[in-house]
Structure formats: C-alpha cells, structure tokens
Structure 1
Amino acid sequence: MMMMTLAILGMAQVKESGDFQIGVFGGGSFPMGTYKSIGQTKTGYFGGLFMDKYFSGNRFGLGVDARLLSHGLVREDSMFFENGFIETSYKNKAKFEHMDFTFGPTYKYEEGSFQLEAFLRGGILMQRFPEYVKSLHYDDAKGNSIVIPLKQTTNDASNKANAWLGLAGLRFNYLLSDNLALFAQADYMQSFGTKFGKKASKFAVEERIAAGTAIESKTFVNNFLDHYEETFSPSKTPYQSLNIGVGVKYILGRKSAEKPVVERPIETVVPAVKPQSKSIQIVVKDKQTGIALSGVTVSVESANYSNKETSNANGEIARINNAQAGEYKIVGEKNGIKTDLMTISANDFTGHDAVIYREIFHDDPRFTLIGETVDCDKNQILPNIATVLTNSSNKSNMSQTSDKEGKFIYQLDQRADYTIVANQSGRYSQTEMVSTQGLDRSKTLYVTLKLGVCNLVAGGNWVLKNIHYDFDKANIRSDAAVILDNVVSIMKQNPSLKIELSSHTDSRGNDAYNQRLSQQRAESAVAYLVSKGIERNRLQAKGYGESRLLNNCGNGVDCSEEQHQENRRTEIKVLAY
C-alpha cells in the first residue's frame, strides 16, 4: 500500500496531467446480510481518507482508500427462570473494529461547480472480532450447579483476522473554489474468501439450536436437552456494509479555467518607436461559443475620449479613428451582464500597425431567442406586434413588442421549456413551444422562431396547435390548458368576438362513439374558457367526430399514423366579430 501511494504521489508531479486530490470523510456504517444477522451488529460509524490521481484528460485515474470502521453488538439481557438464568459474558470489547486499505480505478464527470466520481477498489480488511459466550446456568434436582454454553464465538484466540475486500461507491462533490470541495459519498463494502493465508477470515460462532419446550420465567430446568439440541451448529459471515458519509477534499495543482485567447494580427517585431495616434477596432464575442455578438453596448473611456456604441451583426462597434495615445478602458454590457474590463495602454500605440484590434467576451449562460412576427397568410414581416413569453415551469411572463423589422429577442434559461404567443387586439397567433432541453450552450447561442400572426375576421377559422387529450378521455390536460389560455386572452382583448370551438377525430373506431367523444371534448374546452371568465353566450361547442376528415383516411382505408393525426384536431371558427 505504501508503494502504491508513493507511485500515485510520483504521478502527481508529472506536468500536464490530471488532478491530484486528498480527502477526509466520515459517517454512518450500516451492516447488511449475514454480517447483521449472524454477527448481531448494530449501525456503526466509519472515518478515513483517500487519495486520487487523475490522468491526462481528467476523467480516469487511480486512487487509494484507508478507513476505520466500528460496529457495536446487540447485547442480550440476562434471562432468569425458576432454578437458574441465561447470561452472555463478553470477553473483550463488545464490538467489531476493522481497518481497510484498498486501491483501484476512479472515474470523474464534471459540470460547472459539480463533480460526480465513481470508484472501484480492492484490498485488505484487517478485522478485530468480539469474543463472547452465552451460557445456561441452573441447579439440577441433586443441587449441583450446571453451566451449559449455548452460543460462543469460535475465532482464533487473538480474535484478529484479515480478508480480501471489495469496495464500490459514488462521491458527489461541490467545488467551493478551484482547490477545495465538499462532498457526500455512498459505498458498499464486502469481504471475500474463507481464508487469508492459512488463517480463517470470516467471523465464526457456534450455537445450540432451541428444541423441545421453551424456557420461560416459571420454567424449572431438569436437563438442558429438554430445551436445546446436544450439538452445536456453526455459522460464519463475511463483512458486509453500506456506508454513507460526508467529507472535504483538497485538489492540488488545479488551475482556473483559462480565458479565451484573444486573436490578434501577427505583429512584426520592430524597434520601439514613439507612441502615435492609431485606429481602434473593438469586436464583441460570446465567450462560450466564440460567435460574434450583436446588441452589446460598449463603453470606451480615456482622458480625451468617451463614447458608447452598440455592436452590429459582426460584433463590431464603429472604428475609432485617429485615437490619441493613452490609456483606454473598454467594457461591454448586454441583458444586465457586463464583460470583463479591458485596458489599452500607451505602449499599444507604438509599432507600425495602423489599427489596434481587441476582442472582448460576453459571458451569459442563457440562450438567445431571436423571433420574427410574420403575417400567417402572406408570410410578410409584421412590425410592432406585442408578444408574451411564459416559462412553463414557474409560469413567469415576459413581454416585448417586435421592432420595425418584426424582430423580438428574449433570453432563455438552460434546460427550460417556454410558450410564446402574440397578444394584440384584432389578431391571434398559435401558442408556439420553445425549449432549450438537450441544447449545449458551448455549441449553441441562438434559438430562432417565426411567429405567425393572423387577422381576426368573421368566418375565419384555424386549427389549435399542440392541444392533446388523453386516450378515451375528454378532460382538459395541463398542457392543453396552456393553449386554451391563449384563446382566453384573445377573447378578452376582443369583446365582440364569438366563436365555435369544435373537436374532430380520425376515422378509426365506431362512428357514433367518435361523435360523442368529440362533443364531450368540445364541451370540456368551452367549460374551461367559461371558468376563466368568458361569457357562455360567446361560445359554441361542436363535436364533428369523423365527419370532416381533412384527407382520404375514411373507414377501412389504410393510412399512416401521421395521416390519422392530421384529422385529430381542435378548431376555432369565428362566428361574429
């Protein structure tokens, strides 16, 4: 074990390799299996330390683990009867005390400040067993004092034994800094084999099995064979436990994440010259993807210059021409998040390059939704349309009006779902779904969407997207309620609007049944709108069953699931406006 530890310490000195970490831990140890039943062990405690050395790439490594474990015994009270008693005599500490040393591979997965480590170890368990005898004491009919052992340990006289040990577990880490982390871990330990060297490695006991009549407080014992078998039954158990604990670890040689390299034009080394006026070109990029970033307000300040510019589609602000030599402080801001401060010094104005080129990096972990409001019939840009974005999990809302080019921009959290609708009198839109689930922020910055916006006209109709019912059910599901909430908003913005809300099925199943189910679904949708404050006289519920198919998938026609899905729909028809 010392040689393995020294080997890991030696690897820790190799440059450009992975982390080397040392940790201490402790917690509760829960006996399992025969170790709990035969050994009569109670929940105990453990404590120890580990060292891991990761290889280049910082995913796989090797580690050592050393710990102390202790489990107390379930003590049996003395039991008295008419002419004697049963007692248990403990010859040493009434507990199991163990020490282990293990070695094996480790795997690490890291995401931000969180790490998950899995480890597998093999090694030696050094055991110290309790020694005890459970005895039956009684006076026979002749007055003789009889002592009969009922249960006793049968280990080596030293009550010490070694065993091969296996250990497997998980460690959940939270980084407080680049070098310090707190963790919780859970692992399973079990010893293997019956002997280590020439010595038995399992805890062993032998016991007389109860037979005949049970001994109770009023029992008079004449012969122990009336109550117990004459011979002993031996039992052995390996060590088995589930261990749960917490700890702290220190990571050696870990470096902070490097900042993006700023690319600059290759400069020819020339003798130093007197500072002179030059042009300054600033470009803003997204830190996580390196994509040029527009819409960032960049402030440039010096003793004789002060200005703010917004970066264009190429991430550039207007070039500063004939800038006087001196110190310039540059910082960008977008969505309330600032870039790191960058400084141009007087020394940057020396040399023969006519332009000082600098990149600044904006670090916003969110995704950017770039949307566009368009006429749903003509597919032309519609400016000045109010939109509402809703977070599906916490129901928080944000609103924005599209600009003269029909553009609107929202910031989206990672691993989140949203809905977005137009919210303007005289118009309606579908409830569109937007999700960042499964997107990698290090590869993706923008999410795009075209939001179709239509005019409300008498006689007009549209199919509600993304509204679904459970099989053979008519109740409004939570995801369908989100779609109907948009209809509520449209009705409230347009008080003269009256609609028919209809439900349609595909051709599969009984015609009469489909008719009834579609009517029930339409009435459920109308009831939902009424519950949200829409007058009942502005609404009509109509179920059409399979009578208005949009394709040729009638009874007996073999069609794909997509073709049947086209017919299963909920529609809105404008009756008056």
Structure 2
Amino acid sequence: MQTKTLTLAGGYRLTGLQHICCLIFSVVLLLLSMGVFAQTLQGVKEPISGKGFRFGLNGGYDLFPDYKNNTPYIRYQGGLSTGATAGYYWKWFSFGADVDYIKNRPQNQYPTDSVFDPVNNFLIKDFTLQQQDITRVFYGIGPGVHYTNREGRFSVDLNGRAGFASIKGGSLALTGKNGSTEQVLNYHGGYNINNALSFKGSLRAQYFFNDFIGMHVGAYYLRHLDTKDAVGPAGYSAAYRAFEPNGDGMRAFTEKDLKTINKPCNCDISSIGAYAGISLRLPTRKKTKIPASVAPAPVEPCNTCQVYALAVTARDQYTKEVLPHTDVAVKDASGNVIRSGVTNAFGVIVFPNMTPGSYVINGKLYNVDLAPAQAAKNEFIANGTLQKELLYTDQNFILKGNAVVCNTATALPGATVVLRDRASAVEKNTQTDNEGAFIFHLKQKAEMTVFGKKEKYFSQMVNITAADYNRNTTLFVKLEMCMEETDCDKAIRLENIHYDLDKYFIREDAKPELNRLVQFMNDNPGVRVELSSHTDSRASHAYNQRLSQNRADAAKVYLVSKGITASRIVAKGYGETRLLNRCADGVTCSEVEHQFNRRTEMKVICPGR
C-alpha cells in the first residue's frame, strides 16, 4: 500500500493527473484557433444534420464526493478527473459509452488538540497520519437525448449511463503516542472493489467551430451501489476511539479499547463534478432532394465568363453621413425580391454574382423608407461593380437612446421608455433591447420629455427640444437616460428642490423634480414613500426642525394635488440631524458645503412598516 504522511509545511508540485488535465486544456485552446481559421477558409456550406458519430475528451474536477462508510471522523476531498465519451447521434436520440477516471483523497476529521489517554494517564502530543488516494474508474453505456440547432454548430445533450466501476485505495490511519505507547485513534481500510454497479447522468453543451472540431462543458452525477469497505490486516474495516470533553477542557477516551467494526458497510458512493474538453465528430450533411424536372443541367467550367456585382450605399440626404443597419432589398421587374441584406458599419452592402437586368432597389431604416434607386441592365459592368445610392429623405430626427443604472455603465434591458409631447401630453412607448438601447423618431421643433418605467426603478426625466438641433447637420440625436434602483429604505436625493430663505412654499423650479416623483408613484401604485427634508446646521436646532417639517409637508401637499393618495406619503423633517459632511455647529464651512446638507430626499418604505 502506497501511503503519504501528513506534513505541516512543504512545496506543491503538479501530479501526473494534473499534467494530463493541463495538456487537455492546452489542446482545447489550440483546436479553438484551428477551428476558427478552418471555418474562415471553408466559407458557407450546406448545414449539417444531427446524425453521425461524436467523440469527446475532457478534464474536470470532482466537486462533491460523498462516501458512506463506518468511520465517523473522515471526509473526502474533491479531485481531478479525466474522461472520454463516444456515441452515435440521430435527430433527437443518441446511444454511447463513457469511461471516466476520478481521484479523491480521504481527510482526517479526528481532532488532534488536547487528546487525553485516561488509561495511561498522559496527553497525546505526537500524531502520525497515513492516507492513500482513492481512484475510481467508471465504464458504462446508455442512451441520451439531444438538441442540435439547424446549422449543426450548437447542441445540448442529456445522457444516462449504466455500467461498472473499479474503486481502489482510500485507506486512512491516525495514531497518537506519548513516549513508547502508541494508540490507534482513527482508521478506515479503504476500498478494493472491481465491479461496483454504477449509474451516471450528465448534461453537456457543445459548440463546433467547423464540421469536425468543437469544445464542450458539462456536469455529471455518478453513483456507485453497495460499495464495501476493505478489511485491513488487523481484521476490521473501520476503527476509532470515541471521546468526550472532560472537566479540564481536554478530550478523553470514553473507554479503554478501540471501537472496531468488522462488518464492511455496503453503502453507496456518489459525487457531482464539472468538466470541459474537446469534441470531435463525423457528421452527415442534410441532403436536399431536387425533382428531376427542375434539376439544373450540368455546367461546363468557364474560364472566360464575365461576372457582375452591385454595391448599395445608404446615406442621409441632408447630413451625407452613411447609414449602418439599413435593410436593403433588390426587386426584379415583377416585384420579386431577388437579393436582400443589411448595410455594414460603413453603410454599404455588396451583392456579388448579379445577373444584369432592370431592378428596383429599396431601403428601410428603423421602419422609415429610403428613396428607392433604379438599376438598368446596360449599367452593369462586366467584371466590375455597379454603385448605387439610397437616400434617407425623412426630415425628422432619429432619437437614439440608452437606458442605464444611474452612476454606472450597466445597461437596463426590458425597460419601457416613454416619449411625451410636453404641449399635448401625447405619448409614444417602446422597449429597450438587451443592450438597453431604444429608438424614437423626433419631429422638428418638437418639445418632448423622455423617461423610463421599470418596476423598482426611479427614472430620470430628460427634456429634449428639437429646435436645438439643425437637421442639415444632425440626423441622430443621442441620449443617455439613467434609472436608479429604489431598494426600500434607500434614500434618493431629489435634485433642484430649492426653497427661498426661511420659506417652505414650492417654487416653480422645484416642480419638475417633484413631477418625476409623481410619475414614479403612478407607475408603482403599490409603493409608499417617505419624503424627507433636511437643513444645514445654521440657526437653532428647534428652528431647523420646524422649518424642515414645514418643507416636507409642503412637498407632500404638492404630490397630493397631483392625484397621489395622502396615505402613500410620509412627510418627515429631520432638521440638522442628518448632516452629510463636517459642517456641524461651530465649524466654519463655505456656502457650497452648507448647501450640500440642504436637501430633499425620498425613499421607498419597506412593506409591513
């Protein structure tokens, strides 16, 4: 039996198994580069089917091993794993085989501090731990189900395997002594099993860079049934000394002899792990059946044939800037779309291998049609490219916005964005995409307000005046709108809530910010808020307390006048009790520092309060 002695210090070196795992992951990175390069060279092919052989090599980590046995003071560490899989795949079903190698290590849990031997009447101070790694080799076969996308590049597998496992090693022996007297404290005989009935389930995701090479990640659950403990040379599979604390704060044995267990525990072993690796396959391609009546006749190779191409540029008529992401369609004389696509970052799309003819070219940007262009048959250039231009002639602006969490660059997808006409109160709505982006068309001379709606978010309200922009120089009006998350009891400062000296009536310049709060409460009808007012430290405490309460009450009255139920608002004046800086009584501060403490805040009241 190969054993290892517990040490308290020492260096760490890679084991042979760890070298293998490092090599596998290096091969994965190499094949990733080769796959991308190969895919670039191959260009576009017919999509492959889900049928064919697939193979995989992987390395990973056995995260949560669970060994049931007769030794109470022992646990097991996770360890590295390697494996291979092979199978044949049909459209939805597969059948295959797996081989896995897993290594774990037993870990002593018997406490070695203040262990007292009452029989020999001494404190045990010298301990020796011998332990042996456990190796498991599983081999099994079984069915699986999978989903492979239409292009054959991505798939998800759910596989089941049944088979047998070889489980070896795992012995542990802890002894303690004082002088020449040595005591066995904790012992387990390990395992020596050749064919343990085992079951495995795994979930795996694969991505193929080309027709043959890919990579995968996955997780597994492996269970071995009725795994017997090995019986050691002393005739038992497990032994330990039971102990209990005594009055001196030490752990003392409760009996003289070891508790020995002669009958092995026919218990299960299970583990959960994760892995990654390379995937190989021998695919079959989807075959398209073409009726003989419409099958094209064989074409002889042509070395002198002429080729034609059409390039379309989308451009704004007024600013002359190019327009990416414009949908372009080429139609023949009968109105049939023969070619289509989207312009690139330079506003251009090229259609190769065109047949000279008369075409109408249409474009559309954000649901607005561009002025069409015409292409005549005699305009096409042999072995050259015909250039055509589509013009965006709409005189309105395009508002391109982004919704983010306030004071961060975090996008807010799925938020409702409202564009409200400030004169007529007419509203338009849209949703932010996965990057938090949104689009509106903005009429010239319009005066609009933009704000967002999302549960538990307090939106900024941005005013836009189209007259501030010149359509001859600007098409895209860019905007960033922030929304702040309203966790309960989180204070949010309301900006621009100003009061005249020693006054508490609501000024006109404070109403837009309070209107923002009105909008938030209308959008979240189940929310109650605390509206608080704060002063600086100047004047007496009693005067500041009274003034701040009057100002909070005035703000509440304003919200109620806008239709908010009074029971949803708690007005609270804090006076000078919650200063945000050093400017307390007796401290000399600038006017700017005092102004920082004069503020109005709102916070959502936690439910149940």
TM-score of the pair, normalised by structure 2: 0.44
The two structures have a TM-score, normalised by structure 1, of 0.46
